[in-house]
Amino acid sequence: EAQVTQNPRYLITVTGKKLTVTCSQNMNHEYMSWYRQDPGLGLRQIYYSMNVEVTDKGDVPEGYKVSRKEKRNFPLILESPSPNQTSLYFCASTPLAGGFPSYEQYFGPGTRLTVT
Amino acid sequence: GENVEQHPSTLSVQEGDSAVIKCTYSDSASNYFPWYKQELGKRPQLIIDIRSNVGEKKDQRIAVTLNKTAKHFSLHITETQPEDSAVYFCAAMETRYDKVIFGPGTSLSVIP
Instruction: Write out the residues of chain A at the interface with chain B, using a CB-CB cutoff of 8 A.
Output: 31, 33, 35, 40-45, 48, 50, 56, 58-59, 90, 100-105, 107-110
- pLDDT per residue of chain A (116 residues) written in tens, 0 to 9: 879 999 999 999 999 999 999 999 999 998 899 999 998 888 999 999 988 999 999 989 999 999 999 999 999 999 999 999 999 999 999 887 666 656 678 999 999 999 99
Segment B13-28 shows an average pLDDT of: 96
Q: Chain-wide mean pLDDT for chain B?
A: 93
Give which of B11, B1, B25 is closest to B103, Cα–Cα.
B25
- DSSP, collapsed to helix, strand or coil, labels residue A111 as strand
Chain A CB within 8 Å of residue B88 CB = no
- Whether omega for the bond prior to residue B104 falls within 30 degrees of 0, making it cis, is no
Is residue B29 very low, low, confident or very high in pLDDT (cuts 50, 70, 90)? confident
- The percentage of residues in chain B with a pLDDT greater than 70, rounded to a whole number, is 97
A68 burial type by CB count under 10 A (0-12 exposed, 13-18 middle, 19+ buried) = buried
Quote the distance between the C-alpha of residue B29 and its chain's center.
18
Alpha helices of A1-116 — where are they, by DSSP H?
A: none
